Amino acid sequence: MTNIVLFGKPGAGKGTQAEFLKEKYKLTHISTGDVFRFNLKNDTELGKQARVYMDAGDLVPDELTTKMLIDEVNKHPDTNGILFDGYPRTISQAKDLDVFLTSIGSQVAATIALEADDEILVARLLERGKTSGRIDDQDEEKIRNRYQEYNEKTAPLMDYYQEQGKFHAVNGIGSIAEITERVSSVINNL
């Protein structure tokens, strides 16, 4: 199993890149955001719990997120690998993921961070918010709060994965094809 963590601030292009990468490398794409949106749309119990945090622009607590992701991975026992999009977001989640993957005889092969300037990302999200219907993409203050949460809780993952030799930063600015080529270069050299 080749498990890849796609990493970056909201609006960095994780979802867009994941669509190309899952096809190219025959990976199962698990997007925390997509799973949350499904639960929100269908008003499930998890969706109700997650809505409180997301509407405030906060990250959903680790316990809810980790259980959901493990359940999702378990739905794909015969996959070539998982492309994690939006997970893990904290050191706690990364450690839980390592423990889980080890328990099934696997591991994270690499983390790939799509990096871009905050001002560019804010503009991307506000533009996306015009058509996506996502409340969290329509309010600049909430977007900036998400970035503050990211910097405080998620950015330390860089050190965690760098210590394991699994962290790869990729320039997230350019055409979709250019960014896909940069990300593919990392994966091809694993």
pLDDT of residue 80: 94
Does residue 18 lie within any of the structural domains? yes
- Return all residues near 37 (Cβ < 8 A) that are at least 6 apart: 134
Looking at the 3D structure of the chain, how many domains does it have? Answer: 1
The one-letter amino acid code at 22 reads: K
Does residue 10 lie within any of the structural domains? yes
CATH number at residue 108: 3.40.50.300
Measured CA angle at 59 (ends 72, 32), to 5 deg:
25
pLDDT digits (tens, 9 = 90+) for 26-56: 999 998 878 777 778 898 887 898 888 878 8
Give me the residue label for tokens 């804010």: 122
Which residues constitute the domain of residue 173?
Answer: 3-184
Return the DSSP state at 13: S
Cβ proximity of 142 and 57 under 8 Å: yes
Does residue 126 lie within any of the structural domains? yes
Residue 81: CB atoms within 10 A of its CB come to: 18
Give me the residue label for tokens 């799973």: 35
Q: How far is CA 73 from CA 15, 134, 180, in A?
A: 18, 26, 24
Does residue 189 lie within any of the structural domains? no
pLDDT digits (tens, 9 = 90+) for 102-129: 999 999 999 999 998 889 898 989 988 8
Does residue 25 lie within any of the structural domains? yes
Indicate whether 79 pLDDT > 90. Answer: yes
Does residue 190 lie within any of the structural domains? no
